Structure 1
């Protein structure tokens, strides 16, 4: 990790944990065989993949045959949503999601809408939470899928997943959650929560980019979207990313061991950052909900331009929204849905901390933000 950079953009990606890297390196070098090969070398690698699959599945209390490896949560979301749409279209063509979802879900649903499906995009309260009464009102007998993000990537808001799943199931619909910002940070039991489909990415939890997974509850039907060899139960054809799978397994193992410790350490840092920055004039927290992940703070610096602030902070990495759409010069759709004006959305910064952050990182960021937002500061 670049020690010179104060990296507070962990919701966009995380550095690879050195122990994760150590676990995956042998599978980039000596243990390179294709796990689908029938020779002994290939089958020995296949056995390692099976062990990794079992460990990752156990991490969310799933069966190993319910886990499909993908390149990440975006691909997993596409496979899940499109797969459900095609498999259950005889029952209905109505899908429910939320206006604050990640673009991977929103754009997939919009694509289905163009193809004749009906999509309801639920609004959110000022807190960022959905109104369960609105969901109850929107769901219908022909609703086939309800998809609600577990933890919002921009604000950290945690939705009431178990209650949402119950509402979906009571009407005979499947429930999916994009848990990219939750897996590795929160304990997740897919059976207790009633989740039918869950997706996540390794690079949000100290594994490399290019590996993710989709949990598919047994007996949930999905029409295949990627053909060519029948890998991953026919749902995701293509040679498995063995180094990535091994890395994801190790990341899950470490998260399981260190989750409480990480939560305590990171939440203290986040709370310090938040408390100090909110002392500044014309600042406010975007989401005052108690249901918020412990590593994320989204703060509006009224009257400022977030992009300008980011550009003036050398060796500090923070963001003004989702990294997946940051190239687009428009206000955050998440903050807009929560009732912020365009100007206030453009004035908002997201700080997302990780397990490698230190108090020095936090104090440096606090000091720099204070300097940049003071009225008499010389920007020259």
Structure 2
């Protein structure tokens, strides 16, 4: 198997997470909403415990965490749910050009109704210009959505400052923190966010489960109706095993992310230094320092990303950008939003390291990628 260096697309399940999940896939199979027998009670207790672990990781209260099927649903619930609940007739929605499609496509869809939507540009380094943001907001702004850490270039936005600007006009602030949770310190109180989306499979948990943090007092209406589970905000039977896995993954992240980040950052710098020596025209996309550990989005100018990814696919697994929108190849819209030409954007490859990446793997990856120098 090739070396896996696509941790921003998804992470492998940590073996400890898998072990925690197994009983709830086998003998502890009860429905957590069945309150008349022990099978339901033990499942319900497991969900309650997992919810507490997720909440603890982001410094939230347990009842502020709503389980969903993943970050895409969380983003939709945050934005569409707030729109449904709005009684103040605010009609402006503001977001950023480098957001994940889960946000951008939702905002564009709402533009077809009564909403005035604003999609802000970013600076060359991927950061939001706070003055531009401030000028875009008024007393008609309902919600602002800005990703905490970008899924392609790893850039970390100044979330606290953005929250302050939003609240100065009475707007609700949502952040898609899918790439941030488990990689940096995410604290909803310090950040001042009102809504926060996250997903288990980006933090060494299972696919198919995520959560939306909803600050107490923020009114959101459900977008999926039925049995009124999850505080009436997300109907459907809560998948106990997935929730348990999510909780275990969050508990592990709570204790290990700082050490993980230091080790991963060191390996990332090791790989980047090697590439920089081998490719004099190497282009690093995004802010050089304000980015999550483990992200390298680089262009080997003269080589298309598609060519590189295919050429090395038998030995290392990397990507051309977001795995969520890569069925049809196009130059990265994120790199285009940074102001790069189509030609340069077509060279961008995303290399992302994680918890299980080893120094030996980075040495091998360096050799494999360096061999591309002969084809430039």
Regarding TM over 0.5, the answer is yes
Map 1:165-184 to 2 at 5 A.
165-184=163-182
Counterpart residue number, 1:302: 301
- Residue 18 of structure 1 and its aligned partner are, at CA, apart by 0.3
For residue 144 of structure 1, give the secondary structure of its aligned residue in structure 2. Answer: strand
Counterpart residue number, 1:103: 101
- Which digits, 9 at most, give the CA deviation of each residue in 1:146-165, with x for residues without a partner? 11000001001000000000
- Which digits, 9 at most, give the CA deviation of each residue in 1:313-339, with x for residues without a partner? 113110110000111221111100101
Q: What are the ranges of 5 or more consecutive residues in structure 1 without an aligned counterpart?
A: none
Contact 1:301 1:344 in 2 (8 A): no
Map 1:77-226 to 2 at 5 A.
77-88=75-86, 90-226=88-224
Contact 1:304 1:373 in 2 (8 A): no
Does 2:22 align with 1:25? yes
Counterpart residue number, 1:375: 375
Q: What is the rounded CA distance, in whole Å, between the counterparts of 1:24 and 1:331 in structure 2?
A: 39
Counterpart residue number, 1:266: 264
Counterpart residue number, 1:11: 8
Contact 1:278 1:285 in 2 (8 A): no
Counterpart residue number, 1:348: 348
Counterpart residue number, 1:339: 339
Contact 1:149 1:178 in 2 (8 A): yes
Aligned residues: 373
* 4+ long deviations beyond 6 Å: none
Q: Which of the residues 36, 39, 45 maps onto 1:39?
A: 36
TM-score (norm 2): 0.97
- Residue 86 of structure 1 and its aligned partner are, at CA, apart by 1.8
Q: What is the rounded CA distance, in whole Å, between the counterparts of 1:166 and 1:368 in structure 2?
A: 46
For residue 351 of structure 2, give the secondary structure of its aligned residue in structure 1. Answer: strand
Q: What are the ranges of 5 or more consecutive residues in structure 2 without an aligned counterpart?
A: none
Q: What is the rounded CA distance, in whole Å, between the counterparts of 1:188 and 1:294 in structure 2?
A: 14
Contact 1:224 1:236 in 2 (8 A): yes
Contact 1:283 1:299 in 2 (8 A): yes
Map 1:309-324 to 2 at 5 A.
309-313=308-312, 314-324=314-324
Q: What is the rounded CA distance, in whole Å, between the counterparts of 2:139 and 2:106 in structure 1?
A: 22
TM-score (norm 1): 0.96
- Which digits, 9 at most, give the CA deviation of each residue in 1:37-94, with x for residues without a partner? 1222202210121111112111111111110001100000001100111212633110
- Which digits, 9 at most, give the CA deviation of each residue in 1:187-221, with x for residues without a partner? 11101110100011100010010010000011111
Counterpart residue number, 1:330: 330
